[in-house]
């Protein structure tokens, strides 16, 4: 069971304004991530990132209070929305060894994230073009980390992230599983053959059911 720390941390959200721009938050970052509406408000797509931030913030604060620095690895980072928001709201003002590592297999997204971090002066966040398996062995990551996150990582990356966390002795794992599209693909591939063999295949005959059954 995770205990919530009473320590105050940078960027602690005010529940009454949890989807509003907060003091010190980078407007340039929000524009780059396309999560600001035309009237300067947060759009609906920002909600999942902020929900995960609100869940992660007490864990970050506790780890930081205990050891003076905190390390976080975000798997299936994509465009690194989550990593950037975590950095902007928590890590940016720490001025210590704390660091975020974004892990992503698509090199073009890694390059774009690196360029954005450099432009914003976010020195405590970096991005690695690695698979989860490669990241376990990579000497570019520490031997142990404090927190591992994975937000809607596709197919089996959520499972891989949990494996990584166990290998790295992570203190906390914060994951939101995705649709398991890979499993659904296997179900679709064998659907015709299975229908003739097992009536239970009717449970995933239709596309929506196939996807949900895969999940």
What are the pLDDT digits (tens) for 79-88? 888 899 899 8
Backbone angles phi, psi at 150, to 5 degrees: -155, 110
91 pLDDT above the threshold of 80: yes
Asked if the 24-178 domain carries CATH number 3.40.50.720, the reply is: no
Nearest CA-CA partner of 117 in 20, 22, 33, 21? 33
pLDDT of residue 199: 75
Domain ranges of the chain: 24-178, 182-214
**What value does the mean pLDDT take over residues 12-29?**
58
pLDDT of residue 117: 95
pLDDT of residue 188: 75
Q: How does the average pLDDT of the chain come out, rounded?
A: 80
> Is 194:185 a contact under the CB 8 Å cutoff?
no
Q: What angle do CA 173, 175, 180 make, to 5 degrees?
A: 135
Would you list the DSSP string of 117-162? HHHHT-TTEEEEE--HHHHHH-TTS-SS-SEEEEES-TTTHHHHHH
17 pLDDT above the threshold of 50: no
Q: Which single residue is written with the structure tokens 């506790």? A: 62
Report the half-sphere exposure of 72 (CA within 13 A, side-chain side).
31
For the stretch 164-205, pLDDT in tens is 999 999 999 998 877 666 777 777 777 766 666 777 777 777
Q: pTM of the full predicted structure?
A: 0.72
pLDDT of residue 13: 43
């Amino acid at each position: 069971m995770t205990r919530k720390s009473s320590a105050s941390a940078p960027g602690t959200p005010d529940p009454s304004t949890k989807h509003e721009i907060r003091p010190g938050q980078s407007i340039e970052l929000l524009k780059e991530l396309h999560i600001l509406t035309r009237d300067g408000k947060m759009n609906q797509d920002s909600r999942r990132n902020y929900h995960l931030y609100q869940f992660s913030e007490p864990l970050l604060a506790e780890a930081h209070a205990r050891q003076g620095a905190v390390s976080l690895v975000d798997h299936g980072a994509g465009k690194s929305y989550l990593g950037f928001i975590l950095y902007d709201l928590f890590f940016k003002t720490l001025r210590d060894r704390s660091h975020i590592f974004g892990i992503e297999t698509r090199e073009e997204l890694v390059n774009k994230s690196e360029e954005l971090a450099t432009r914003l002066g976010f020195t405590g966040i970096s991005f690695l073009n690695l698979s989860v398996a490669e990241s376990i062995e990579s000497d570019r990551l520490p031997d142990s980390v404090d927190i591992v996150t994975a937000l809607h990582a596709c197919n089996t990356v959520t499972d891989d992230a949990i494996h990584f966390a166990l290998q790295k002795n992570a203190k906390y794992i914060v994951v939101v599983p995705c649709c398991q599209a890979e499993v659904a693909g296997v179900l679709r591939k064998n659907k015709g053959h299975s229908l003739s063999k097992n009536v239970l295949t009717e449970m995933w005959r239709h596309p929506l059911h196939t996807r949900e059954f895969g999940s």
